[in-house]
Amino acid sequence: MLLSDEQYEELLDVFSRPRILARYPLTPEVIGDLFAGLAAAHRVEPSPELPLELRDPEDDPILAAALGGRVDYLITGDKDLHAVAGDPRLGDLKIVSAAEFLAILDASAQPTAQKDVDDQAKDTEDEAADSGAESASFQSDRARRLSWRAVRPPSTTRAWPVTKEASSLAR
């Protein structure tokens, strides 16, 4: 995760607004933890020039930070930023929603997770063949449970919803 100094300052401003605090009853501890994490994020110098014009100029700093940081993904729900997704002038930058990004993460983890499932199922079968103690139905049930665990996204994939949308709520 990275952000520019300007984005960090904007988030500080947004999360101190009374209407945001009223709408999202966050404790001071939660906000403190959030900003401790944001303070540790890699800071970038925004790109001085954008290769294209956005419909909403207020989104320019977000795109400039992504380009300046040479990131692979800009994760946002902002419709104006999604309107330029895939534009060749953005180079390798992909603009995706949080749900799309989680699907990308799941897909990239899938081959490794499936290999782990296959290896664990094979180990179970080998142990059963060696000891003769496990039944075929137990082995198949264990493999089924391991498969479910491998394709189910872990609960740790949930991210704190701090995106450009949070700042646009205050507008």
Average pLDDT in the 128-157 region?
Answer: 40
Both 74 and 134 in a single domain? Answer: no
Does one domain contain both 86 and 165?
A: yes
Sign of CA dihedral 70, 72, 78, 80: positive
Global pTM reads 0.59
Domain that holds residue 71: 2-96+158-169
- The larger pLDDT score, comparing residue 8 to residue 138, is at 8
Q: Tell me the C-alpha distance between 77 and 15, whole Å.
A: 19
Q: Clarify whether residues 151 and 163 are in a common domain.
A: no
Percent of the residues in the chain that have a pLDDT greater than 90, as a whole number? 50
* Same domain assignment for residues 9 and 56: yes
Q: Do 79 and 112 share a structural domain?
A: no
- Does one domain contain both 118 and 134? yes
Q: Give CA angle at 155 (153, 159), nearest 5°.
A: 100
E strands, 10-169, in order = 42-43, 73-75, 94-96
Q: Sorting pLDDT into bands at 50, 70 and 90, what band is 147?
A: very low
